[in-house]
């Protein structure tokens, strides 16, 4: 017979399992609608950056799940990548994090694993609110300035040095229609290709 503590632990793991299951269902539901919009799935990794090292247990629990697409009629060599992501938590400063549903779009010079973390840059930039608006992100992001290696990779990989990104609170998205109306379609409708105009970043209110 389970003790109350054991039952609580099991229920906690079941809750986390259900969160990931729901995120997976949400991402898989996007494929037909993305095909209707002229995009095909890359079938790359859904999870990236987690580990099994005993010294880094925080990395055992993954913070974002992604589905990435390319335009069927895209230009050869353009490497345009459209990402839809479910981000239930963030390893860094999780107590201040709002779980996110995010979409992003950029064009890369090539497609190494860096395209995974670049696609969800907005989750690491606390100055940018999950306000349902398209933000054009560049190499002036604080999260890139703190990591010279990632900054260099961003500059070398991202054409025009810009990523279009939009995020809303994950728990506000309860069906596929909401996901496309509020997250995916506004990014698809944003001017393309991205230009290098300056972008105002809204500061978080204290």
Q: Tell me: the pLDDT tens digits for 48-74?
A: 767 778 998 888 888 999 999 999 987
Q: Tell me: the pLDDT tens digits for 96-129?
A: 899 999 999 999 999 889 999 999 999 999 889 9
With CA atoms as reference, report the closest residue to 41 among 33, 50, 31: 31
Q: How long a stretch of residues is the chain? A: 206
For residue 166, pLDDT beyond 80: yes
pTM of the model: 0.89
For residue 182, pLDDT beyond 50: yes
What is the band of 91 on the pLDDT scale with cuts at 50, 70, 90? confident
Q: State the CB neighbour count (10 A cutoff) for residue 107.
A: 20
> What average pLDDT does the chain have?
89
For residues 83 and 158, what is the distance between their CA atoms, to the nearest angstrom? 14
With CA atoms as reference, report the closest residue to 169 among 122, 206, 119: 122
Q: What's the maximum distance between 2 C-alpha atoms anywhere in the chain? A: 63
Residue 77 pLDDT: 66
Helix count (H) and strand count (E) of the chain?
7, 6
For the chain, the domains span 4-189
DSSP 3-state of 160: helix
């Amino acid at each position: 017979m389970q003790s109350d503590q054991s039952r609580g632990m099991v229920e906690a793991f079941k809750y986390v399992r259900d969160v990931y299951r729901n995120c997976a269902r949400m991402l898989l539901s996007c494929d037909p609608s993305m095909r209707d919009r002229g995009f095909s799935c890359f079938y790359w990794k859904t999870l990236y950056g987690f580990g099994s090292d005993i010294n880094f247990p925080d990395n055992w629990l993954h913070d974002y799940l992604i589905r990435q697409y390319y335009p069927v009629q895209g230009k050869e060599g353009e490497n345009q990548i459209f990402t839809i992501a479910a981000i239930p938590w963030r390893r860094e400063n999780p107590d201040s994090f709002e779980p996110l549903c995010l979409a992003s779009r950029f064009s890369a010079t090539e497609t190494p694993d860096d395209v995974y973390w670049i696609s969800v840059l907005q989750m690491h930039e606390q100055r940018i609110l999950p306000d349902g608006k398209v933000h054009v992100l560049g190499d002036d992001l604080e999260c890139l300035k703190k990591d010279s290696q990632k900054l260099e990779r961003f500059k070398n990989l991202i054409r025009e040095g810009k990523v279009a990104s939009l995020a809303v609170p994950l728990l506000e998205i309860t069906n596929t229609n909401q996901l496309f109306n509020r997250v995916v379609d506004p990014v698809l409708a944003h001017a393309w290709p991205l230009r290098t105009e300056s972008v105002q970043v809204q500061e978080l209110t204290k």
